[in-house]
């Protein structure tokens, strides 16, 4: 097995605050403002083995998006400060420094709103299932006569709850999300989510990728009362990416990154099973797909991007 698959993050020089499905968060010594080291592993949802370099791809892709969205969305504030940990001598060991290269970023530590700010530009997944039953999407009335995977006349904000580890997120209406995040911040979150999606989808489409839908997370800077874009941004893990060249309305689309894995699960009757180990060829092909997305969206290969890092 390749040495660069990291399903856990070997970092003991900093206190680990939490571990999500894919990321580990570490506390950094306080400077002016509280900060975190946001480290992305190669873990892939329910699977035992990881995808080599996945954490690096997600990190460098998110960093690229923070740059692109800052230029395209007026007034956008985001948590990204810089790649890697602060340069303070002795903060991490040289081995840890190497391990963290390309897969970690220093971010502002903020209070995350407990909703997933989903935006959909196309109708698929749980929204399609609901639409077929009731002609609504997250409880909102939707245009009649939509086909599966049709482009929506306008992107829509369709939040969900942010479940604890192991629980399932539940689709809710923007009205229910208002109650969760508070009247004061609801409009700002919705406006930023839609603006980030539109800017990102336009940028991706020019590069051959349709972002069918995506999930953003937002957080509050309690000192200034401002809403920040946080977490990963417009990655294959937080979004549905389709190939623009292969897109056809009225049928299921191949997901750009996860299709190889999905086909293998279906062929082997393993769909929905937990703790599955992917065979090496599925791992390799999936890695290839993540790399392809990275290259299409950033214009550079992962190797080139890594070589440019200090």
230 is an interface residue for ligand ATP by CB under 6 A: yes
64 is an interface residue for ligand ATP by CB under 6 A: no
Instruction: Restricting to residues 126-185, name those near ligand ATP by CB under 6 A.
Output: 165
For residues 1 and 135, give the distance between their C-alpha atoms in angstroms, rounded to a whole number. 48
Residues 6+ apart with CB under 8 A from 160: 115, 116, 118, 169, 170, 171, 172, 215
Q: Which residue is nearest to ligand ATP (CB)?
A: 20
186 is an interface residue for ligand ATP by CB under 6 A: no
- Judged by CB under 6 A, the residue of 72, 108, 151, 285 near ligand ATP is 108
Beta strands in 190-275 (DSSP E): 209-221, 226-230, 239-243
CB of 39 to ligand ATP, least distance (A): 10
The b/e string for 107-143 (b: 16+ C-beta within 10 A; e otherwise) is bbbbeebebbbbbbbbbbebbbebbeeeeebbeeebe
Side-chain half-sphere of 41: how many Cα atoms within 13 Å? 20
Binding track over 66-85 against ligand ATP, x by CB under 6 A: -------------x------
For residues 25 and 15, give the distance between their C-alpha atoms in angstroms, rounded to a whole number. 9
20 is an interface residue for ligand ATP by CB under 6 A: yes
103 is an interface residue for ligand ATP by CB under 6 A: no
22 is an interface residue for ligand ATP by CB under 6 A: yes
219 is an interface residue for ligand ATP by CB under 6 A: yes
Compare residues 105 and 142 and give the one whose CB is closer to ligand ATP: 105
Instruction: Restricting to residues 289-308, name those near ligand ATP by CB under 6 A.
Output: none
For residues 93 and 162, give the distance between their C-alpha atoms in angstroms, rounded to a whole number. 35
Contacting positions for ligand ATP (CB under 6 A)? 20-23, 25, 36, 79, 107-110, 112, 165, 217, 219, 230-231
């Amino acid at each position: 097995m390749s040495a660069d698959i990291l399903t856990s993050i070997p970092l003991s020089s900093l206190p680990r605050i939490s571990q999500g499905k894919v990321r580990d968060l570490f506390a950094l010594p306080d400077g002016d403002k509280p900060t975190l080291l946001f480290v992305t592993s190669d873990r892939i949802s329910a699977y035992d083995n990881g995808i080599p370099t996945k954490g690096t791809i997600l990190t460098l892709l998110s960093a690229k998006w923070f740059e692109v969205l800052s230029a395209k969305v007026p007034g956008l504030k985001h948590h990204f400060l810089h790649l890697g940990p602060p340069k303070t001598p002795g903060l991490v060991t040289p081995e840890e420094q190497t391990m963290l290269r390309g897969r970690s970023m220093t971010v502002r530590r903020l209070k995350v709103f407990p909703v997933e700010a989903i935006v959909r530009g196309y109708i698929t997944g749980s929204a399609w299932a609901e639409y077929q039953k009731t002609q609504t999407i997250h409880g909102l009335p939707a245009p009649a006569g939509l086909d599966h995977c049709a482009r929506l006349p306008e992107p829509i904000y369709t939040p969900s709850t942010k479940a604890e580890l192991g629980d399932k997120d539940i689709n809710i209406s923007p009205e229910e999300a208002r109650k969760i995040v508070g009247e004061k911040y609801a409009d700002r979150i919705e406006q930023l989510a839609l603006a980030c999606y539109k800017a990102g989808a336009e940028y991706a489409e020019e590069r051959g990728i349709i972002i069918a839908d995506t999930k953003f997370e937002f957080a509050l800077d309690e000192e200034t009362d401002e809403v920040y874009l946080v977490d990963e941004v417009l990655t294959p893990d937080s979004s549905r990416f389709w190939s623009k060249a292969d897109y056809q309305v009225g049928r299921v689309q191949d997901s750009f990154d996860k299709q190889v894995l999905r086909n293998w699960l279906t062929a082997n009757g393993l769909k929905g099973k937990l703790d599955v180990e992917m065979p090496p060829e599925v791992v390799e092909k999936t890695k290839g797909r993540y790399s392809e997305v990275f290259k299409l969206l950033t214009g550079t290969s992962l190797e080139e991007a890594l070589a440019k890092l200090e």
